[in-house]
Amino acid sequence: MQDVELLEEGLALMGLGMGFVFVFLTVLVIVTTLMSLVIRRFAPEPPAPAATPARSPAPARQDDELMAVIGAALHRYRQRHRR
């Protein structure tokens, strides 16, 4: 009969531990949600970003040159790593 009592005590301890963890995690989620709501309500508004001057688009020549370099790199990579 001692084995049955030991098993019952182990199951009770396991249930108590799992219950404690469940309650702790539930409280943690609730507190985190409440904290988020409080911070959102009382935090100052973020400053508006300063207007940045519009950039002119990059020249097409530079794009063509970049595409040629990438193409050459791919070609060399594929030559070295053939299956």
Q: Buried b vs exposed e over 15-49: b needs ≥16 C-beta within 10 Å?
A: eeeeeeeeeeeeeeeeeeeeeeeeeeeeeeeeeee
The model's confidence at residue 8, banded by pLDDT at 50, 70 and 90, is very high
**Residue 60 pLDDT:** 62
**Residue 76 pLDDT:** 93
82 or 54, greater pLDDT: 82
- 9-68 pLDDT, tens digit per residue, is 999 999 999 999 999 999 999 999 999 999 988 888 878 887 777 766 656 667 888 899
**Residue 48 pLDDT:** 82
Each domain of the chain, given as residue ranges in start order, spans 2-43+58-80
Cα–chain center distance at 78:
34
**Residue 59 pLDDT:** 60
